[in-house]
Each structure stands twice: as structure tokens, then as C-alpha cells.
Amino acid sequence: MYIIIVGGGNVGYYLAKTLVKTDHEVLVLEKNRLIHRTISEELGEVVMQGDGCEVRIMEEAGAERADAIVAVTGDDEDNLVICQMAKMHFNVPRTIARVNDPRNEALFHRLGIDATVSSTKIIYNLIEQEIETDEVIPLAALRRGNIEIVEIEIGPKSPVLNRPIQQLPLPTDALVISVIRLDHGMLPTADTIFQVGDTAIALVTADKEHELRDVFAEAHG
């Protein structure tokens, strides 16, 4: 794959450094001459100086044959336009934009960007996982379809113990897809019975997450 990264800040730099070790062909575009000089000393010829918002520069960078454009500058409006121009002018199949303001994620999808990454949101989610007091911990959210993957620890007071999965009052839009027992993952059947210390992995639609939570919730106090 040929990947063009626009923006040679910390995100772009480390992304490029990681990608050049793989089989992918990488090019980093950096507007600022000073930053360009600094990172090209280390990364060499995969760095080019120029404004990724300019079609002329993107032509020089070979955007026509790029498989993906990753826009990771510090400005959301620039990342949006870089990705949109890549699609409109060069028909780049995949565009990925860094979103600094997490509220822009939905907007960018609506405006045709294939994927967005918000470090603010990722860090926020990690913090939420760390301080989560509930048994149900969100692991990932699928971009389309509003579906989440969640992890549930089965404690000694869990109401789901000693009953096969088919007898649990699970909400309709929830599915237990895996049970991890003593570091060994298995695919559950209708007859699987939870034991203390198990971890259940479930798929659930976002609006049914709290119902799933109620099924697994330990009787506190």
C-alpha cells in the first residue's frame, strides 16, 4: 500500500516511523520547513516539504496512486479539506482524519471521510475503563450500526452463576460471543454455564447496554 501522511507533528512522525518498518510505502508531507528538516534528518527521503492542502503538492506526492491519505495536522479544518480534496480530486480510496475536537467525528463522517481518530476521545475512553466501577466495561464501538463490544467480569455474587446462557434474561440485541476462563478463550453454546472469575465478551447495541448491565449486575450490599 502507498500511504501519504499529511502533517509531520508528533502523530505523523511516529506513525511514519512505525509504518516504514512494515512493507508499506510511506510519504510524510510537512508544511513547516524547520519541522521538515528535523524529521527528514531521521526519516530521510520519505519526508517532503509542502502544504498538503494544495493540489499541486499532492500531485507531486503522487496522490493519484495513493491507497490511503492520513491527515494528522493540528487543525481539524485542514484535515477535513485534505481528505475531501484527496477524494474529489484524486479518487483516493481511503481517507483517515485526525479529529482534535471529538465533536467533529460525526460531522466528518457525514462529510464523506472514511475514518476518524480522536486522541482526546480514546484517552477519555481509557480513563473511563480504568475508573469504571460497573461490571460491564466497553472495549470498542463499531463505527456503523451503533454496536459495542463489552467485557463483563463474573464475580462471586453475580446473578448469572450456575445457569446456562440460554436461561439468562438477555436483551434481544445482545449476544455473548466469548467466555474467557483461566486465560483460555472459548466460544459459548446455549448450555455454557458461567463460573466465578470468568470474563464474558458480548456484542450489544448501544441502547441495550444498560439492560445487559442489569442482567449481570451483582447484588450490591
Partner 1 sequence: MKVIILGCGRVGSTLARTMYKDGHNVTVVDLLSESFRRLGTKFKGQRVVGNGVDEDVLKRAGIETCDIFVAVTQGDNRNIMAAQIAQTVYNVPKVMTRINDPVRADAYRQHGIVTICGTTILSGLIRDYATTDEWALEKDYNRDYLTSNA
> CB–CB of 144/130 below 8 Å?
no
User: Which three three-digit cell numbers place residue 1?
Assistant: 500500500
Q: Does 101 engage in binding with partner 1 (CB under 8 A)?
A: yes
Residue position matching grid coordinates 449476544: 175
Q: Which residues contact 62 (CB under 8 A, 6 or more apart)?
A: 2, 4, 27
Smallest distance from partner 1 to CB 111, Å: 6
Identify which range of 6-14, 19-27, 80-88, 194-202 contacts partner 1 by CB under 8 A: 80-88
Binding mask 60-79 for partner 1 (x = CB under 8 A): ---------------xxxx-
Q: Does 43 engage in binding with partner 1 (CB under 8 A)?
A: no
- Read off the DSSP letter of residue 96: E
Q: Among residues 130, 101, 138, which one has the least CA distance to residue 117? A: 101
Q: Does 88 engage in binding with partner 1 (CB under 8 A)?
A: yes
Q: Which is nearer to partner 1, 51 or 173 (by Cβ)?
A: 51
CA gyration radius, the chain: 23
**Alpha carbons 128 and 133: distance in angstroms, whole number:** 9
Q: Does 85 engage in binding with partner 1 (CB under 8 A)?
A: yes
Smallest distance from partner 1 to CB 71, Å: 11
Interacting residues toward partner 1 by CB under 8 A = 53-56, 75-78, 80-81, 84-85, 88-89, 101, 103, 107, 110-111
